[in-house]
């Protein structure tokens, strides 16, 4: 079993964080890469290198969700995002 990585980073007033070097090495994150944040069904929030493989994994995890909850347009998605960001009155 490998040793777990535990490190802290401070959020700036602009909402930015520095990803610790050990985590960047583990995920293969290089300057200019994008990172992906997603929440698993169990509530865990995961950060990953937003490589094509990571994006495909996220897409696979979300496949069919929109249809199951009745979303039929981009507007439905935007409405849900706005509600999450600003509350039900957005």
Question: How high is the pLDDT of residue 1?
Answer: 46
For the full predicted model, state whether its pTM sits above 0.85.
Answer: no
- Alpha carbon dihedral 7, 2, 52, 59, in 10-degree steps, equals -90
Question: How high is the pLDDT of residue 41?
Answer: 85
Residue 78 token pair: 């935007």
The one-digit pLDDT tens for each residue of the chain (90 residues) are 456 777 889 999 999 999 999 989 888 888 888 888 888 889 998 888 877 667 778 788 888 888 888 989 888 888 988 998 888 765
String of DSSP letters for 51-78: -HHHHHHHHHHHTTHHHHHT--SHHHHH
**Contact between 39 and 45 (Cβ < 8 Å):** yes
| Residues with Cβ within 8 Å of residue 19, at least 6 apart in sequence | 9, 29, 35, 47
């Amino acid at each position: 079993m490998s040793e777990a990585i535990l490190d802290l980073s401070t959020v700036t007033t602009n909402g930015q964080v520095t990803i610790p070097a050990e985590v960047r090495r583990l995920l293969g994150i290089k300057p200019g890469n994008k990172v992906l944040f997603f929440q698993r069904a169990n509530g865990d929030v995961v950060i990953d290198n937003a490589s094509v493989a990571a994006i495909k994994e996220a897409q696979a995890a979300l496949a069919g969700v929109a249809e199951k909850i009745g979303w039929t347009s981009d507007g439905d998605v935007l409405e849900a995002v706005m509600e999450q960001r600003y509350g039900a009155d957005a």
